Structure 1
Amino acid sequence: MSSALLIIDMQVGLFHGPEKPYDGERVLANIQQLIRQARARNVPIFAVRHTGPQGSPIEVGSPFWQLLPALDLDACTDILFDKTRPNAFYATALAEQLRASGIIDVLIAGMKTQYCIDSTCRAAAELGFNPILVADAHTCMDTPALPARSIIDHHNATLNGAFAKVLNTVDM
């Protein structure tokens, strides 16, 4: 086994919050497709939740902290874990778990492009993994400076090559 699927921050509070993610339903459908493909190929699925401090909307156990039920993840077979920083490797066992399973290629999808997706792609490359950013399976929200579509396009272009291989869902 040399690859794994890493789903980042596809949480109720981020996906269904007051600010809607750009093209969210299409991104969700693509992630669901990646999950189906991973299951069919016996590729392990890792899903991470961003955890806020106590009292925040995404504190441990809160309704907004939960992963989207539409992902149909299974805590018995999938590896579900929490993080407190944008980089999914920081202060987690992710790198050790991947190495212990002989995983080199890490397919990355989820939210938010300019924070957790970017940080995790760069960290994966620095740690010696081969990050594969799924170009049509990550998203974010509009910002005052840039629309989400521009943020996504920029990150797909910037991360491609030096920090990740960028492919679409159909190419997986």
Structure 2
Amino acid sequence: MNYDALIIVDMQTALVEAEPYNKVAVVENIKALLDSCRKKGIPVIFVQHDGGNGDELEHGSSGWTIYKDIAPMPDEKIFEKQYNSAFRKTGLHEYLQEKGVKNIILCGMQTEYCLDATCKVAFEYEYDVTIPQSATTTFDNAFASGKELAGYYENKIWNNRYAKIVGMEQILKLICS
């Protein structure tokens, strides 16, 4: 598979430092994806959520910054969003069209919110979406644990409906092939 872009959603300091499910593995997996894509020349795109004034993800705050372990390189594109979908009023879709992007790797957080909305909108725009297992995360809530949510979305909601879910070892081989 030839991938055209890696899109990393909302891996921001405030969220990562709040200890989402499987944090260490997710950060390490995204670092591995970044390294492989950068070596292969696959464009990396970051998406940052701006929660507005007073929010932990307020534009320009320390919590709003992209987590230090996966910081963007100076030439990597960053889109700022205010909605769950990375496509809504951000220019991301237009940018991807301009670059001829068809096949994307999608990762980041939060599984049931921004990742889900972004995945489904990407599907509607007819991108081929691949989501690596253990490269998305979220928090426990009143209804389910972060682990249950991640597994449910990867295996029951997204896989073979809106995206292809593949293991990390497989995606790294596909990137390098």
Same fold (TM over 0.5): yes
1:106-117 equivalences under 5 Å are 106-117=104-115
CA distance in 1, matches of 2:123, 2:160: 10
Alignment check: 8 A CA contact 1:5 1:108 kept: yes
5+ residue gaps, structure 2, are: 172-177
Task: Report the Cα offset of residue 72 of structure 1.
Answer: 3.1
Return the match for 1:137 from 132, 135, 138: 135
| Equivalent position of 2:44 in the other structure | 45
| Equivalent position of 2:174 in the other structure | none
SS state of the match for residue 104, structure 2? strand
SS state of the match for residue 63, structure 1? coil
The size of the alignment, in residue pairs, is 169
Within the alignment, does 1:79 sit opposite 2:67 as a pair? no
| Equivalent position of 2:61 in the other structure | 62
- TM-score, structure 1 normalization: 0.95
SS state of the match for residue 147, structure 2? helix
Task: Report the Cα offset of residue 168 of structure 1.
Answer: 1.9
5+ residue gaps, structure 1, are: none
CA distance in 1, matches of 2:13, 2:78: 15
Alignment check: 8 A CA contact 1:2 1:102 kept: no
Q: What RMSD over aligned residues (CA atoms) do the two structures have, in Å?
A: 1.1
| Equivalent position of 1:163 in the other structure | 162
CA distance in 2, matches of 1:153, 1:31: 17
| Equivalent position of 2:145 in the other structure | 147
| Equivalent position of 2:7 in the other structure | 6
Alignment check: 8 A CA contact 2:3 2:105 kept: no
SS state of the match for residue 61, structure 1? coil
**2:148 maps to amino acid:** S
Alignment check: 8 A CA contact 2:104 2:129 kept: yes
| Equivalent position of 1:104 in the other structure | 102
Identity %: 28
Task: Report the Cα offset of residue 8 of structure 1.
Answer: 0.5
**Segments of 4+ in structure 1 off by > 6 A?**
none
